[in-house]
Amino acid sequence: MRAARCSIAQAPPRRRRAGPRACKFVHAALPEWKPEPAAYDLIVTHFFLDCFPEPALTEVVARLASGAKADARWLLADFQMPERGLRRLRARMVLSLAYRFFRFITSLPASRLFPPDDALRRNGFRMQRTMSANWSLLHSDLWSRACE
């Protein structure tokens, strides 16, 4: 099965088919952008939060969380550092190379991985579900403000 790809430019026709209130796409620069307070049911950050060093990451999570409703969910996918063993050694090599490459190509401000978990908890989110893949190098988490 082939994955569907959709850019923000392609989103309006898909959104019209799903209904006018189905979703709102935001293309903005963080941490400067200020979301409308308590306006969003779902925040999705795939391979995004790992781009920020720790102080900026805390600010970005707080900024995005300010736009989340009281019962909002946050879906994220990102890299992670496994706890030990060969998985950790492999992840250390992959992430070191990736951060060097992206710092050189894009001037990425982060030079290493900072997990967003503490920042999410401080902003009222609780982990609901997590999944790992690729020798635990990748993870996808579902966070929620409302306990289920």
pLDDT band at 146 (very low <50, low <70, confident <90, very high): confident
In a domain, 1, yes or no: no
Q: List the single range of 25-29, 123-127, 140-144 with lowest mean pLDDT.
A: 25-29
Burial of 81 (0-12, 13-18, 19+ CB in 10 A): middle
For the question of whether the overall pTM of this predicted structure is more than 0.85, the answer is: no
Mean pLDDT of the chain: 88
In a domain, 8, yes or no: no
The sign of the dihedral angle between the CA atoms of 27, 30, 32, 36 is positive
Distance of CA 66 to the CA centre of its chain: 15
Q: Which of 5-9, 28-32, 104-108 has the highest mean pLDDT?
A: 104-108
Q: List the single range of 25-29, 83-87, 119-123 with lowest mean pLDDT.
A: 25-29
In a domain, 129, yes or no: yes
- Total domains in the fold of the chain: 1
Task: Identify the H or E element spanning 144.
Answer: strand 138-144
In a domain, 107, yes or no: yes
Measured CA angle at 94 (ends 93, 97), to 5 deg: 85
Q: Phi/psi zone of residue 136: left (φ > 0), alpha (ψ -120 to 50 degrees), beta?
A: left
